[in-house]
Amino acid sequence: MVTLTIDGVKVQADEGSSILEVARFYGIKIPTLCYNAELTPYGACRLCVVEVEDGERTRLVASCLYPVKEGISVKTHTERVIKGRKMILELLIAKCPNSKTLQDLASEIGLEQVRFKMENEDCILCGLCVRMCAEQMGSGAIGFVGRGQKREVVTPFRIASEICRNCGACMYICPAVNLQCRGVKSPGELCNSCLIITPQCLEKYGQVMCSLNSCGACVEKEEK
Amino acid sequence: MLKQIDPNKQRVRICLGTGCRARGSIDVLKAFNCEIEKRNLQIQIECIQTGCHGFCERGPVVVIAPKEFFYQKVKPQDVAEIVSKTILNGEAVSRLLYTDPVTGKKAVYEYEVPFYKKQTRPVLINNGRIDPTNILDYIVIGGYQALAKAITTISCEEIINIIEESGLRGRGGAGFPTGRKWRLCRKARGDVKFVIGNGDEGDPGAFSDRSLMEANPHSILEGMIIGAYAIGANQGYLYLRAEYPLALKQIQTAIDQAREYGFLGKNIFNSGFDFDIKIIRGGGAFICGESSALIASIEGKMGEPRAKYIHTVERGLQNKPTNLNNVKTWANVPLIINNGADWYAKIGTAKSKGTGIFSLVGKVNNTGLIEIPMGTSLKQIVYDIGGGIIGSKRFKAVQTGGPSGGCLPEELLDLPVDFEKLTEAGSMLGSGGIIVMDENTCMVDVARYFLDFLQNESCGKCVPCREGIKRMLEIVTNITLGKGKEEDLELLQELAETVKDFSLCGLGQTAPNTVLSTLRYFRDEYDAHVKDKKCPAGICKNLIEYLILDGKCTGCGVCLKLCPQKAIQGEPKKIHQIDSSKCTRCGICRDACPFEAIMIKSDVN
């Protein structure tokens, strides 16, 4: 066991666990996109970045990967961290404005505007599907190809993979494509609707539909 | 063994480094061989091919030993004269000697040339002296003595102590203390350990690793063997770019010869220590110069970095303790073992010891490969060694550290070059490129160029680097096109800081340096582009116009005939005019005008 401080609170944690795991255990919320507790941490979305004070040195680290150490002090929501998270979300939303996961995170963190030219992509390249396929399904049918702007998730040689069993796990775990936000009407706009209004789905369907495919009911109501 | 080399023979050392090769040194070599054969002088004269001498601007370079006459810009037709005058009679051929442009004095020997006089070259000195394809040449100048000394007389711990005391720091750019890295790797738990030489040099304008690998491959191998012995590794890898075919060939030959002579393989120097080196060819991705990406690439995976919270000295290649150093770092090791830690620690500044190897390129008179003690000022590099700016142009900026570095202005020319000082100024030492820019360089355009390079070379794994660089490029491109808004500069600054703080690896963390440093030191140029829609340097095509000066144009019609857009009108003997709506600002007319009558108007409005 090691003792560390998270947001001013002294906590104990198992050696070898990551800051994110410990913070979540103690109920401290750190936003993530490419993290899933059952998969190898990847450290690509950079939303989980926190400030770590180790001795005299303060640095920004990805909490999903940084192993806890005796005596370190972690700050999960400093001004510098929040500012960076907002910028990262701004970058992601400019690329994939219709992702409900991103729009929700943006609302939570208080992002007010997107200043970049809007695109209309779906994939945020978080790599969850790639790791899901390889680690949990034991298949490895998809992977990343290309670098920089040309990076994408595809099957080898872009042809139907022989080892893909069509299990759908990649779609299940995808945070971006599966849930589409219908609230964005004009480019650059942030939806924020789901957080502002109580879902109206219950009246229509008897259950909240957002977890399946957003119905847009909440948004339409707001317009009236 | 060494009897194979005859000390009485005159030796003609011809530079066959990449620069001189491009200037035709292979033909010079052929001419020498022909001439020697024609005159039947094979017994007296030997012609050897060396690696880069450093003075690439004046290639092909030829040095005649034992008197060490230094000839530059040698052509095949000069060869006959060199043989009859210098080799047979011991006289210098005056027209091939270097003339100092300031004093007009001729330099007969290498050390008299100002370019060399101001340098300290412990690592590069042998580049021009030995034939890289012949291990005996390296042994004659004292090669592999350090290895013998280290393995037979010094304990592993002591070797690490010596390296630590010398103050040697990683030459790949980050400057991590080499001795400490070795110690951590030696202490790390693991039955198998690896050492890696990083020769994946990808910066635009940098060729220092390349020249060293081509010219003196054995010094790198010797360093790696000593390091492996100290750390306790039995397998080494040398990762180098497939785009460096000559370096690959020389290193492969060197490894084969070292094996043959027993410096590599089983039971080296009867010590029971086994070590071998394997070459891995990189596919040309800039990111593979980053240590964790390089290791992934050796493992056969996609070359992308991982977070190094658990350092590679503990878990590197195949999750085993791995010590990775740049090839230049490795080449320093034999020197330190031979001359002692104190000798090395005397060179350089308090925190940065030894010499730095840089490729000096851009708008300086003497481009080439240089080696200077740490702490030498930028001014000395640009003016004393580089010979100042080409033509009568004014100096504007110097860019150090390649795409990861920043642009430093004239006010900072007195800055001593070492790890800390450059980082403080917003640049970095990097892998050793120094690019000098003159007044005709647009700093916004420079930022755009490096962002464009990095956008394509980012691996795309983490969001700030992949998306952030793309957006920075978008903003900067808009500014160069004259579409920039004032709030763009604020956004650019904010974005650059996020990318720097939040990126996963060194590439992303240093990518905004060019933007941040140009915003810091050349803010007025950004303002001119954004507010006044002007490009003061006259580079950004949307912000300039070409004009024909009334007083100078004679109506000769040269420009009119050459203009690919037919944008120039005029009659013979009458002043011509450029139709700006048709003009694409290609500059052909300006280059062709014999009367310098065409100028760039940077103030369009």
With CA atoms as reference, the chain A residue closest to B464 would be A88
* Chain segment B415-424, per-residue pLDDT in tens: 999 999 999 9
DSSP string, B273-331: EEEEEEEEEE-S-GGGGSHHHHHHHHTTS-------SS-TTTS-GGGS-EEEEEHHHHH
Which has the closest alpha carbon to A114: A172, A213, A188, A26? A188
How far apart are the C-alpha atoms of B513 and B408, rounded to whole Å? 11
How many other C-beta atoms are found inside a 10 Å radius of the C-beta of residue B473? Answer: 22
With CA atoms as reference, the chain A residue closest to B460 would be A148
Which has the closest alpha carbon to A31: A91, A95, A81? A81
Identity of residue B452: D
With CA atoms as reference, the chain B residue closest to A50 would be B502
Distance from CA of B461 to the nearest CA of A (A): 6
The domains found in chain A, sorted by start residue, are: 2-77 (3.10.20.740), 81-121+177-223 (no CATH), 128-173 (3.30.70.20)
B7-113 belongs to which CATH class? alpha beta
* Chain segment B321-360, per-residue pLDDT in tens: 999 999 999 999 999 999 999 999 999 999 999 999 999 9
B-chain residues within 8 Å CB-CB of A117? 474
DSSP 8-state code for residue B384: I
CATH fold of B544-601: Alpha-Beta Plaits (3.30.70)
- B461 reaches A (C-beta below 8 A): yes
How far apart are the C-alpha atoms of A224 and B3, rounded to whole Å? 98
Say yes or no to pLDDT of A90 above 70.
Answer: yes
With CA atoms as reference, the chain A residue closest to B501 would be A60
| Side-chain-facing half-sphere of B104: CA atoms under 13 Å | 0
**What is the structure's pLDDT at A196?**
52
Q: Where are the domains of chain B?
A: 7-113, 135-344, 355-438, 443-530, 544-601
**What is the token pair recorded at B140?**
């004659």
How far apart are the C-alpha atoms of B166 and B160, rounded to whole Å? 10
B-chain residues within 8 Å CB-CB of A176? none
For residues B118-131, one letter each, b for 16 or more C-beta atoms within 10 angstroms of the residue's C-beta and e for the rest, the string is: bbbbbbbbbbbbbb
Contact: B502, A144; criterion CB under 8 Å: no
With CA atoms as reference, the chain B residue closest to A88 would be B464
Domains B135-344 and B355-438 share a fold: no
Using CB atoms, pick whichever of B304, B309, B468 lies closest to residue A67.
B309
**What is the structure's pLDDT at A223?**
45
Is the Cβ–Cβ distance between B258 and B298 less than 8 Å? no
**What is the structure's pLDDT at B11?**
87
Say yes or no to pLDDT of A212 above 60.
Answer: no
Which has the closest alpha carbon to B456: B217, B202, B232, B252? B202
Distance from CA of A86 to the nearest CA of B (A): 10
Cβ within 8 Å of residue B337, ≥6 positions away: B146, B147, B149, B150, B154, B159, B162, B226
* Chain segment A21-66, per-residue pLDDT in tens: 999 999 999 999 999 999 999 999 999 999 999 988 899 999 999 9
- Residue A142: C-alpha distances to residues A155, B305, B451 (Å): 4, 19, 30
Binding-face residues of A in 87-126 toward B, CB within 8 A: 87-88, 91-92, 94-95, 115-117, 124-125
**What is the structure's pLDDT at A200?**
56
Which residue carries 């240590």 as its tokens?
A: B291
- A148 reaches B (C-beta below 8 A): yes
B-chain residues within 8 Å CB-CB of A92? 463, 467
Is the Cβ–Cβ distance between B451 and B195 less than 8 Å? no
Say yes or no to pLDDT of A221 above 50.
Answer: no
SS3 of A121, please?
Answer: coil
B568-569 and B577-578 beta bridge pairing: antiparallel
B106-107 and B98-99 beta bridge pairing: antiparallel
Q: What is the CATH number of domain B443-530?
A: 1.20.1440.230
- Residue B277: C-alpha distances to residues B114, B190, B237 (Å): 39, 19, 5
Which residue positions in chain B have pLDDT lower than 70?
Answer: 1-7, 603-605
Distance from CA of B307 to the nearest CA of A (A): 7
CATH fold of B355-438: Ubiquitin-like (UB roll) (3.10.20)
Contact: B455, A148; criterion CB under 8 Å: yes
Using alpha carbons only, give the angle B31, B35, B40 rounded to the nearest 5 degrees.
150
**What is the structure's pLDDT at B549?**
87
Using CB atoms, pick whichever of B302, B462, B494 lies closest to residue A46.
B462
Contact: A83, B498; criterion CB under 8 Å: yes
Contact: A149, B310; criterion CB under 8 Å: no
**What is the structure's pLDDT at B235?**
95
With CA atoms as reference, the chain A residue closest to B455 would be A148
Q: Does the B135-344 domain belong in CATH 3.40.50.970?
A: no
Using alpha carbons only, give the angle B287, B210, B269 rounded to the nearest 5 degrees.
105
